[in-house]
Amino acid sequence: MADKDKNKYEKKSQQDAEDIKRRLDMLDHRLDDIDTMVSAVIERVMVQPVSLILNCPHCGRNIEISMIGNKKPTV
């Protein structure tokens, strides 16, 4: 009976480890996506002005963020 319980707990801990690995992989993928988006925005800001309009999830008001880089655009 003890061997069955031991096997059950080993399987459970192995599943937990696989679940943690899967979640870490998902987090890594999301962070890569965020990095890509931020890099694209930064590249664009350095060439031309960018204005972001966000909607606050708490109060519902619009928030405008304008960014201007100091690099002169190349033609």
Model pLDDT for residues 25-70, shown as the tens digit of each residue: 999 999 999 999 888 877 777 777 778 888 988 898 999 988 777 7
Strands in 19-75 per DSSP E: 50-55, 62-67
Residue-wise pLDDT for 10-19, tens only, equals 888 889 999 9
Question: In the chain, where are the structural domains located?
Answer: 2-67
| CA–CA gap between residue 54 and residue 63 (Å, rounded) | 5
For residue 64, list its beta bridge partners.
53
Q: Residue 13 is which amino acid?
A: S
For residue 52, list its beta bridge partners.
65
Q: What pTM does this model have?
A: 0.50
